[in-house]
Structure 1
Amino acid sequence: MEIGVAFLIKKLIAWLLMPMPVGMMVILAALWLLHRGNSRLATQLLLGTLLWFGVVTHAQISSLFLLPLEAQYEKIEQIPEEVEYILLLGGDKERRAWEAIRLYHRVKNAKIITSGYSMHDRLSDAYKASKLLIEAGVRAEDIMMQEDVKDTKEEAAKMKERVGDRPFLLVTSAYHMPRSMILFKQEGLTPIAAPADFNDRGEDSIWSLFGARHLQKTERAFHEYIGLLWIYVRGAV
């Protein structure tokens, strides 16, 4: 699948704004200042970076970032009768496919649409998710794939071609749902939020510093807030 330059630049900018790259860039700046003989400022930057990593890898802080995103939509239980399609957004990241399977067994004549490309693998996320669904008991004839979409906006545009304005269940991670709903509604679609993969906030010790799992949660939140900001900027210009 051909990846455009604009898409790669967008991905690079988003990556550079993540907590880890930001911290590493500050460390590099501190080392450069140390090399130039400005040890005082270099020390301040290094101490600031240590504090930064302590904040973004803390359990309570990461949950604080994610909670406003995940709290916007609850797990769906009441499913409208006219629903036929279930869109599994972005393949099976964070094991969200299990929510699609649960809904599949509750919707009469349901069709699951898997979506997502893969930049590093010859097999797309859509294909890999479809294989998992089949292994879990979903009939192959009830699965459709969208393999040529690179991001949520392209997934929305592709879904518009398939279902028009008919309502469908949108399955994605709870933290990604707010941005997804905005993008899909902008395309004139009628998505019904079916969030999955709610993050575990069981660990809330004040001493839970420098946890890789908590850093991952913070990065997820940063990615969504940057995406929401981009939607706002594009809508304002």
Structure 2
Amino acid sequence: MAIILFWLLSLPIVAAQLMGLVETPALKDPAQLAQSQAIVILGGGKRFAAYDVLEQETVNNVTLARVRYGARLARAAHLPILVSGGAPLGGASEAHYMKQVLERDMGISVTWLEGGSVDTADNARMSKALLGSKIHTIALVTSADHMARAKRSFEKQGLTVIAAPTDFINREPISPTQFLPRASALLTSSTALREGLGQLWYMLRNQ
């Protein structure tokens, strides 16, 4: 049974279906951003031993995808940006490098930097404190699989959230190769299962 389950989770077609259960649909109408007062971009990790940059640390690919999409929304809606992400493994915060990428590489100014959080609930609580009492509605940018949990946490802080998910998994056209095991598909299945458990845990903890 364990071998069969391992094989199923390694199939791209199964992994895509599992991820579909946790991913939030894309923002279909950019006009919704007109209701927002700020864009909040959540970090998704750092890349250590980044020998191609002076600091030898930078955002990882997940965070870069979120930053890139947030920059695009900021250009379209002309809204201020808050970046949120701490440094649970040490070094400078994710938010520090997110700000660096946005301002140095993309020419987008960052208004608020929240670098003390260690999880999604912290992201929401500390971001709300920085935004203050005058901002009530935000456009939230994070990965599609993480959005449901993040949106819930920010709404718990009294904010109205317009979900702007990004970094959707790659879904190839149906073909015979979709039924052949892949290590990448196993990773996708693992991510989907972990996020599903995370959503359940946050619901149980009322976060």
The TM-score, its normalising length taken from structure 1, stands at 0.70
Q: Which of 171, 174, 177 matches 2:141?
A: 171
Corresponding residue for residue 52 of structure 2: none
Q: Which of 62, 66, 73 matches 1:96?
A: 66
How many equivalent residue pairs? 185
Secondary structure, counterpart of 1:169 in structure 2: strand
Structure whose residues are more often strand by fraction? 2
Query: For residue 117 of structure 2, what is the amino acid of its counterpart?
Result: V
Corresponding residue for residue 102 of structure 2: 133
Corresponding residue for residue 122 of structure 2: 154
Which structure has more RCO (C-alpha within 8 Å, separation ≥ 6)? 2
Corresponding residue for residue 20 of structure 2: 67
Quick one: distance in 1 between partners of 2:141 and 2:68?
10
Give unmatched runs, 5+ long, in structure 1.
Answer: 1-47
Quick one: distance in 2 between partners of 1:80 and 1:71?
17
Q: Which of 194, 201, 204 matches 1:223?
A: 194
Query: Hey, which bits of structure 1, 4+ residues long, moved more than 2 A?
Result: 68-76, 79-84, 118-121, 162-165, 203-210, 231-235
RMSD of Structure 2 on Structure 1 (CA): 2.1
Describe the superposition over 1:160-182 as per-residue Cα deviations: whole angstroms up to 9, x where unpaired: 21234511110001111111111
Task: Decide whether aligned partners of structure 1 residues 190 and 233 sit closer, same or farther in structure 2, where only a CA change above 3 A counts.
Answer: same
Higher deviation after alignment, 142-151 or 156-165: 156-165
Structure whose residues are more often helix by fraction? 1
Task: Decide whether aligned partners of structure 1 residues 52 and 136 sit closer, same or farther in structure 2, where only a CA change above 3 A counts.
Answer: same
State which structure, 1 or 2, has the greater radius of gyration over its C-alpha atoms: 1
Task: Decide whether aligned partners of structure 1 residues 117 and 203 sit closer, same or farther in structure 2, where only a CA change above 3 A counts.
Answer: farther
Corresponding residue for residue 11 of structure 1: none
Q: Does the 8 A contact of 1:88 with 1:97 survive in 2?
A: yes
Q: Does the 8 A contact of 1:58 with 1:215 survive in 2?
A: yes
Give unmatched runs, 5+ long, in structure 2.
Answer: 45-58
Residue 212 of structure 1: how far off its partner (Å): 2.2
